[in-house]
Amino acid sequence: SYVLTQPPSVSVAPGQTARITCGGNNIGSKSVHWYQQKPGQAPVLVVYDDSDRPSGIPERFSGSNSGNTATLTISRVEAGDEADYYCQVWDSSSDHYVFGTGTKVTVL
Amino acid sequence: QVQLVQSGAEVKKPGASVKVSCKASGYTFTSYGISWVRQAPGQGLEWMGWISAYNGNTNYAQKLQGRVTMTTDTSTSTAYMELRSLRSDDTAVYYCARAGYCSGGSCYHTVGFDYWGQGTLVTVSS
C-alpha cells in the first residue's frame, strides 16, 4: 500500500516560514491535499490539488509537489496556525485515499 | 451553505455493531462522494472508505474489509457507515467528509475533502 511520511513536529517563530514535507514514492504524479486540525475540531482543507486554496484560506498557505516530496508552506506564521497538519493523496492504483502520518506545528 | 451533520455519540460493547449517519445539505448530494475517516484518541487520521452518492460504488480500506459497510439514501441526502464486530481499538471519533466530484459517470479525486461533519465519538467498552 502507498505510504506518506511526514516529520512528527515542526517548530517555528511567529512571522517566520514553516515548511512541512510529505514524502511518497513518485508523489509528484499524484494530486496532494493538505488539512489543518486543531484540538477537538474536525480537519479543515487548506490546500487541494497540490497548490490550490479553498475560499477563505489565507494566501499564507501554499503548496508544491515534485518528485518524491510535496510541501506545505506557511508564510508569516501566526499563533493561530499552531495545529496538526496532514497530507493526503488518492492512490489510483488501489482506489484508496491515503493520509500522511501528521505533523504537529508549534509556534514558539 | 454546505453542511454535514452526524448522529450522536455511541457506547457499544465488544462484538456489537454501530451505524453512524451523516446528513448532507446545501449541495447536490449525488454530485459528490462521501468518505469516512476515523481518529483514535491521540492518533492520526485513518481513511476508512468512500462511497459515490452518484451510483453507490464503494471502496473500503483493506484493514476494514468485511467489517464495514457504507451506504447512501439519496431521498434524504444521508450517508451511513456501519461497523460490525466492534473491538476496543475501534474507539475513535468518526468523521464523514464530502469527497470526490462525480459527473458523467466518473468521479474525480482532485478536490480533497472540502466539508466535514462534526464527528461522532464511538466508544467500545465492556
C-alpha cell at position A65: 509537489
Give contacts of A98 with chain B, Cβ < 8 Å. 47
Per run of 10 residues, the mean pLDDT along chain B (length 126 residues) is: 98 98 97 97 97 93 96 98 98 97 85 96 97
Cβ contact (<8 Å) for A43 and B99?
Answer: no
Report the pLDDT value the prediction gives residue B109, as an integer from 0 to 100: 86
Cα dihedral across residues B107, B63, B116, B15: positive or negative: positive
Q: How far apart are the C-alpha atoms of A41 and B45, rounded to whole Å? A: 12
Look at residue B29 and give its three-state secondary structure.
helix
| CB-based contact, B46 to chain A, within 8 Å | yes
Tens digit of each residue's pLDDT (9 = 90 or more) over A64-108: 999 999 999 999 999 999 999 999 999 999 999 999 999 999 999
Tens digit of each residue's pLDDT (9 = 90 or more) over A28-41: 999 999 999 999 99
- Integer-rounded Cα Rg, in Å, for chain A is 13
| CB-based contact, B105 to chain A, within 8 Å | no
Q: CA nearest B109: which of A83, A22, A94?
A: A94
Find the chain A residues whose C-beta atoms sit closer than 8 A to any C-beta of B: 1, 31, 33, 35, 37, 42-45, 48-49, 54, 84, 86, 88, 90, 92, 95-102
Which positions ≥6 away from A70 have C-beta within 8 Å? A21, A22, A24, A27, A28, A32, A50, A63, A64, A87
Which residue of A31, A41, A97 is the best one to mutate when testing the B interface, meaning the one whose CB has the most B CBs within 10 A?
A97
The upper half-sphere exposure of residue A35, i.e. CA atoms within 13 Å in the direction of its Cβ, equals 25
Q: How far apart are the C-alpha atoms of A32 and B99, rounded to whole Å? A: 13
- DSSP string over B48-71: EEEEETTT--EEE-GGGTTTEEEE
Q: From the list B44, B112, B118, which residue is nearest A42 (CB)? A: B118
By C-alpha distance, the chain B residue nearest A91 is: B109
Report the pLDDT value the prediction gives residue B93, as an integer from 0 to 100: 98
